[in-house]
Structure 1
Amino acid sequence: MKPTITIEYCPKCGWMLRAAYMAQELLTTFSDVIESVSLKPGQVSGVFRISVDSKVVFDRKENGGFQEIKVLKQLIRDQVSPGMSLGHSDRQENGG
Structure 2
Amino acid sequence: MKIEYCTRCRWLPRAAWLAQELLTTFEGDLAEVCLVPGTGGVFVVRLGDRVLWDRREQGFPEPSAVKRLVRDEVAPGRPLGHVEASALDPDA
Q: Which TM-score applies when normalising by structure 1?
A: 0.87
Q: Partner of 1:87 in structure 2?
A: 81
Which runs of 5 or more structure 2 residues have no equivalent in the other structure? none
Q: Partner of 2:62 in structure 1?
A: 68
Question: How far apart in 2 are the matches of 1:59 and 1:39?
Answer: 15
Deviations 1:8-29 (A, max 9, x none): 0001001000000000000000
Question: How far apart in 1 are the matches of 2:14 and 2:34?
Answer: 13
Question: How far apart in 1 are the matches of 2:8 and 2:89?
Answer: 34
1:51 to 41, 46, 62: 46
Equivalent residue letter for 1:40:
V
Q: Partner of 1:16 in structure 2?
A: 12
Question: How far apart in 1 are the matches of 2:10 and 2:89?
Answer: 30
Structure 1: which 4+ aligned runs deviate by more than 2 Å? Answer: none
CA drift of 1:80 comes to: 1.3
Which runs of 5 or more structure 1 residues have no equivalent in the other structure? none
RMSD: 1.3
Deviations 1:28-59 (A, max 9, x none): 000111111000001x4010000011111000
Percent pairwise identity: 46
